[in-house]
Amino acid sequence: MNTPNTTLESGMTVGLTQSALIGKRAYFSGRTWLDWGFAALVLLGGLFAFSRYGASMDGYEEGILLFTLPSVIALGWFWRPLRLLILAVGATSLLTIHLYGQHSDGFGADLAAAEQVFWLKYMLSSQSAILWMSVLFFMSTLFYWAGFFTRKGSDSAAEAIGSRLSWAAVFMALLGTMVRWFESHQIAPDIGHIPVSNLYEVFVLFCWMTALFYLYYEARFKTRALGAYVLLVISAAVSFLLWYTVARDAHEIQPLVPALQSWWMKIHVPANFVGYGTFALAAMVGLAYLLKTASQRSLLIGLVGLPAAIILAILAARFGAGLAPDVIEGLDSWMRKLGGLLLFFGLCIALRRPLTARLPELVTLDDLMYKAIALGFAFFTIATILGAFWAAEAWGGYWSWDPKETWALIVWLNYAAWLHMRLMKGLRGTVSAWWALGGLLVTTFAFLGVNMFLSGLHSYGTL
Mean pLDDT, rounded, for 218-246: 92
- 216 within domain boundaries: no
Report the alpha-carbon distance of residue 295 to residue 273 in Å, rounded. 33
Mean pLDDT, rounded, for 326-334: 69
pLDDT over 70 (residue 8)? no
Q: Give tens-digit pLDDT for 32-47.
A: 999 999 999 999 999 9
Mean pLDDT, rounded, for 351-355: 88
Q: Give tens-digit pLDDT for 97-156.
A: 999 988 887 777 888 888 889 999 999 999 999 999 999 999 999 999 998 887 665 668
For position 449, what pLDDT does the model report? 76
- 316 within domain boundaries: yes
For position 171, what pLDDT does the model report? 98
Mean pLDDT, rounded, for 288-303: 91
For position 39, what pLDDT does the model report? 95
User: Mind spelling out the 3-state secondary structure of 369-387?
Assistant: HHHHHHHHHHHHHHHHHHH
- 156 within domain boundaries: no
Report the alpha-carbon distance of residue 246 to residue 240 in Å, rounded. 10
pLDDT over 60 (residue 421)? yes
- 343 within domain boundaries: yes
Mean pLDDT, rounded, for 273-291: 95
Looking at beta carbons, which pairs linking 213-222 to residues 24 or more positions away fall under 8 Å?
213/274, 213/277, 213/278, 213/281, 213/372, 213/375, 214/166, 214/281, 215/81, 215/163, 215/166, 215/167, 215/170, 216/79, 217/281, 217/368, 217/371, 217/372, 218/163, 219/79, 219/81, 221/360, 221/364, 221/368
In this prediction, residue 320 has a pLDDT band, given cuts at 50, 70 and 90, of low
For position 249, what pLDDT does the model report? 82
Higher pLDDT, 333 or 283: 283
pLDDT over 90 (residue 180)? yes
Mean pLDDT, rounded, for 268-287: 94
In this prediction, residue 404 has a pLDDT band, given cuts at 50, 70 and 90, of confident
User: Mind spelling out the 3-state secondary structure of the chain?
Assistant: CCCHHHHHHHHHHHHHHHHHHHHHHHHHHCCCHHHHHHHHHHHHHHHHHHHHHHHHCCHHHHHHHHHHHHHHHHHHHHCCHHHHHHHHHHHHHHHHHHHHHCCECCCCECHHHHHCCHHHHHHHCHHHHHHHHHHHHHHHHHHHHHHHHCCCCCCCHHHHHHHHHHHHHHHHHHHHHHHHHHHHHCCCCCCCCCCCCCHHHHHHHHHHHHHHHHHHHHHHHCCCCCHHHHHHHHHHHHHHHHHHHHHHCCCCCCCCCHHHCCCCHHHHHHHHHHHHHHHHHHHHHHHHHHHHHCCHHHHHHHHHHHHHHHHHHHHHHHHHCCCCHHHHHHHHHHHHHHHHHHHHHHHHHHCHHHHHCCCCCHHHHHHHHHHHHHHHHHHHHHHHHHHHHHHHHHHCCCCCCCHHHHHHHHHHHHHHHHHHHHHHHCCCHHHHHHHHHHHHHHHHHHHHHHHHHCCCCCHHHCC
Higher pLDDT, 299 or 150: 299
For position 256, what pLDDT does the model report? 83
For position 110, what pLDDT does the model report? 82
Q: Give tens-digit pLDDT for 384-393.
A: 999 888 888 8
For position 31, what pLDDT does the model report? 87
pLDDT over 80 (residue 23)? no
Q: Which residues contact 157 (CB under 8 A, 6 or more apart)?
A: 150
- Nearest CA-CA partner of 158 in 170, 169, 173, 148: 148
- 69 within domain boundaries: no
Q: Give tens-digit pLDDT for 51-80.
A: 888 877 777 778 888 889 999 999 999 999
Q: Which residues contact 411 (CB under 8 A, 6 or more apart)?
A: 275, 279, 380, 439, 442, 443, 446
Determine the structural domain holding residue 372 and report its residue range. 268-463
Q: Please, what is the average pLDDT of the chain?
A: 86
For the ranges 50-64, 85-99, 317-331, 439-453, the one whose mean pLDDT is highest: 85-99
- 121 within domain boundaries: no
- 397 within domain boundaries: yes
- 38 within domain boundaries: no
Neighbouring C-beta atoms of residue 115, cutoff 10 Å:
9
For position 436, what pLDDT does the model report? 95
For position 244, what pLDDT does the model report? 87
pTM for this prediction: 0.89
Average the pLDDT over each of 179-193, 237-251, 442-456 and give the range with the smallest value. Answer: 442-456
For position 391, what pLDDT does the model report? 84
Q: Is there a contact between 359 and 288 (Cβ–Cβ < 8 Å)? A: yes
CA R_g for the chain:
24
In this prediction, residue 5 has a pLDDT band, given cuts at 50, 70 and 90, of low
In this prediction, residue 456 has a pLDDT band, given cuts at 50, 70 and 90, of low
In this prediction, residue 463 has a pLDDT band, given cuts at 50, 70 and 90, of low
Higher pLDDT, 144 or 447: 144
Q: Which residues contact 390 (CB under 8 A, 6 or more apart)?
A: 262, 264, 265, 268
For position 86, what pLDDT does the model report? 95
**What is the total count of domains within the chain?**
1
